[in-house]
Amino acid sequence: MPHVVELTYYPVKGCAGTSVSEAPMTPAGLSHDRSFMVVGDAGVQRTQRRHPRLAVIRPDLSADGGCLTLHAPGHGAVDIRVDREGPRRPVDLFGTAYQGIDQGGTAAGWLSDVLGAPSRLVRVPPEHERVTDGRTPGTSGYADSSAVLVLSRSTLDLLHRELAERGAPPLPMNRFRPNIVVDGWDEPHTEDRTRRLTVGGAELGYAKLAVRCAVTMVDQESGTGAGPEPLRTLAGYRRAAGGGVVFGAKFAVLRTGKVSVGDDVLVGRWGDSEVRRAG
């Protein structure tokens, strides 16, 4: 039976993930996922595309979301009492305007030092009413788009075979920053064809394929670029019909509930793949 083998949420967009054995699935994804974001002075989001050292920042967030600690090698840690009521400031996420609650000068100074660029930390405000796109609309915090990224072990195994043919080493799952990793789907990219998923107490609706970018070429342990893989190899066999290199699938939350490692993954409806073999 297909089942969940990894659950990961990312409290701060672009920073390291937190692996858990269970978590509430909220309308915006796993609880606290991408509820914070690092921005520049102008409010534009910072991502690993231009600031790969975000990867080495490890957030620890209390269960109630009230206390956040950030750790980074060589920079120690900073404790932040999360502000959920402060003044809003405009932020920019890939050209779309949202609001954020600034988390103060201590967090800003620490992040600026780690990243080597003026930076501030913002939190999603309670009134955040984002609508995400795709086949199934939903909401999310500061994620790139839809709330939940699903990836299967068989999908990564196929990439490893393709990499081996090029003489390239395998890559860890964290290069792709999934929320839910599924084992038990024998056919690679089964997640592409699922349209309704039940996982624990939650139900997910397929939104779209996950178009991959340069973040997949960042070593998540060192926070350094390590390209050209996997994009070079994926470009040879994983292009969506509408363009773009894709790997994994994104979902919106249809029903909230607790999700745990070991939960069966039940497919309620199937669809056709939107991927063509390149070349």
pTM (2 decimals)? Answer: 0.97
What's the distance, CA 63 to chain centroid? 19
* Residue whose pair of structure tokens reads 């997640």 in the numeric block: 191
The ranges assigned to domains in the chain are 3-10+17-22+132-276, 29-123
DSSP assignment of 3-60 = EEEEEEE-SBTTS--EE-SEEEEETTEETTTT-EEEE-TTSBBP-TTT-GGGGG-EEE
**CATH-assigned architecture of domain 3-10+17-22+132-276:** Beta Barrel (2.40)
Angstrom distance (rounded) from CA 268 to CA 14: 32
Which tens digits make up the pLDDT trace of 163-186?
Answer: 999 999 999 999 999 999 999 999
Residue 99, pLDDT score: 98
Which tens digits make up the pLDDT trace of 116-129?
Answer: 999 999 999 999 99
Angstrom distance (rounded) from CA 124 to CA 264: 31
Residue 279, pLDDT score: 44
Is the four-CA dihedral 177, 180, 184, 189 of positive or negative sign? negative
Residue 275, pLDDT score: 87
Task: Report which of 211, 230, 248 is spatially closest to residue 165, judged by C-alpha positions.
Answer: 230
Q: Where do runs of H (alpha helix) occur along 150-193? A: 153-165
* Residue whose pair of structure tokens reads 């939940």 in the numeric block: 148
Say which residue, 75 or 279, is predicted with more confidence: 75
Angstrom distance (rounded) from CA 253 to CA 194: 14
User: Residue 277: is its pLDDT beyond 80?
Assistant: no
pLDDT tier at 243, thresholds 50, 70, 90:
confident
